[in-house]
Amino acid sequence: MIVIHHLNDSRSHRILWLCEELGVPYEVKRYQRDAKTRLAPPELKAIHPLGKSPVITDGDRVVHESGAIVDYLVRRHGGGRLQPAMATPLYDDYVQWLHYAEGSAALPLLLNLYASRLGEAKAPLMPRIESELANHLGYIDGALRGRRFLLGDEFSAADVQMSFIAEFAEAFGKRAAYSALDAWIKQLQDRPAYRRAIERGGEYIYAH
Ligand X SMILES: N[C@@H](CCC(=O)N[C@@H](CS)C(=O)NCC(=O)O)C(=O)O
Using alpha carbons, list the distances in angstroms from residue 201 to 8, 28, 100. 7, 7, 25
Say how many C-beta atoms besides its own lie within 10 A of residue 159's C-beta: 27
- Only one of the segments 6-14, 21-29, 178-186, 187-195 lies at the binding site for ligand X (rule: CB under 6 A); that segment is 6-14
Cα–Cα distance between 116 and 112 in angstroms, integer? Answer: 6
> Residue 11, interface with ligand X (CB under 6 A)?
yes
Dmax of the chain from CA atoms? 52
Q: Please identify, using beta-carbon distances, which residue of 88 and 96 lies nearer to ligand X.
A: 96
Q: How far is the CB of 205 from ligand X (least distance, A)?
A: 11
Under the criterion CB under 6 A, does residue 15 sit at the interface with ligand X?
no
Q: Is 10 in the site for ligand X (CB under 6 A)?
A: yes
Which of residues 10 and 112 has its CB atom nearest to ligand X in the complex?
A: 10
Residue 69 in contact with residue 63, Cβ under 8 Å?
yes
Q: Applying CB under 6 A, does 54 fall inside the site for ligand X?
A: yes
What CA–CA distance (Å, rounded) separates 66 from 56?
9
Residue in 16, 20, 22, 66 binding ligand X, rule: CB under 6 A: 66
Catalog residues that contact ligand X under the rule CB under 6 A.
7, 10-11, 39-40, 52-54, 65-66, 102
